[in-house]
Amino acid sequence: METILNITNLGKTYNSAGKTLAVLDNINFSVIAGSTNAIVGPSGSGKTTLLGLCAGLDRSSTGIVELNGIKLGELSEDQRAQVRNQHVGFIFQNFQLLPTLTALENVMVPLELRGEKNIKTRSLDLLDKVGLADRGHHYPAQLSGGEQQRVSLARAFSNQPKILFADEPTGNLDAETSEKVVKLIFDLNREAGTTLVLVTHDLDLAAKTQRIIRIKGGKVVSDDKTILNA
């Protein structure tokens, strides 16, 4: 089986008020391409920090992050941004849509950054897949939370990522909307053959994945991949 993400002896520390604060300590795991994975743990356990390091949004203090065969720690900020644009999709709790762009334009952004062709057609197709074909000309402020998250989902898949990182993707949504968004995430993920790594407080959502990595106090305390090994 092909491995898309390798985490080796990963640590992250911050200096705060003259003290060194260890947020993550000696994290080790690998992710199989095409698999679905959840990272769970209490608030302040380091889940979001870990996700950011895996995706190359931040640099680790110690250890190695290897994404699609590329060691992120050896790259400059610009090079990491290039890797993200080539290989990674993101969904955030607070949607992170650009308020001055329409839904369609938000989906088109990653494709424009890559200099792709036929980007309007492809972006419209993705909006259609998330059920928003008729909302492309609306701005984020004109959309409900669920609609904004579906736009961000279309944007996340626009560059055909090899791996999708989702940080509390249903954190700001009501139960009914969450259910729809979760179904879309898994359906699109399966259709595209993308690897999914999501951070969540929601254990019902985590249970839908093939593997649950639990973090507490910056350390991995359990790694349940029984379904992957079945």
pLDDT digits (tens, 9 = 90+) for 144-167: 999 999 999 999 998 889 999 999
The full set of domain ranges for the chain reads: 3-229
Residue 230's pLDDT is 40
Phi-psi region of 25 (alpha: psi -120 to 50; beta: other; left: phi over 0): beta
Mapped onto helix, strand or coil, the DSSP state of residue 37 is strand
Query: What's the pLDDT score for residue 227?
Result: 52
CATH class of 3-229: alpha beta
- E-assigned strand segments in the chain: 3-16, 19-32, 36-40, 62-67, 70-71, 88-91, 163-167, 195-199, 211-216, 219-224
The burial class, CB within 10 Å (0-12 / 13-18 / 19+), for 136 is buried
Q: How many CB atoms lie within 10 A of CB 132?
A: 22
**Coil, strand or helix: which one is 222?**
strand
Mean pLDDT by 10 residues, the chain (230 residues): 93 87 92 94 88 91 93 90 90 90 93 85 92 94 93 91 92 88 91 93 91 93 69
Q: DSSP assignment, residue 101? A: S
Quick: pLDDT tens for 96-140: 899 999 999 999 998 888 888 889 998 999 999 999 999 999 999
CA nearest neighbour of 24 among 59, 68, 66? 59
Percentages of the chain per state (helix, strand, coil), in multiples of 5: 40, 30, 30
pLDDT of residue 118: 84
Structure tokens at 57: 């949004």
CA separation for the pair 95, 169 (Å, rounded): 8
CB atoms under 10 Å from CB of 46, counted, come to: 24
How many other CB atoms are found less than 10 A from the CB of residue 187? 12
Tell me if residue 134 falls in helix, strand or coil: helix
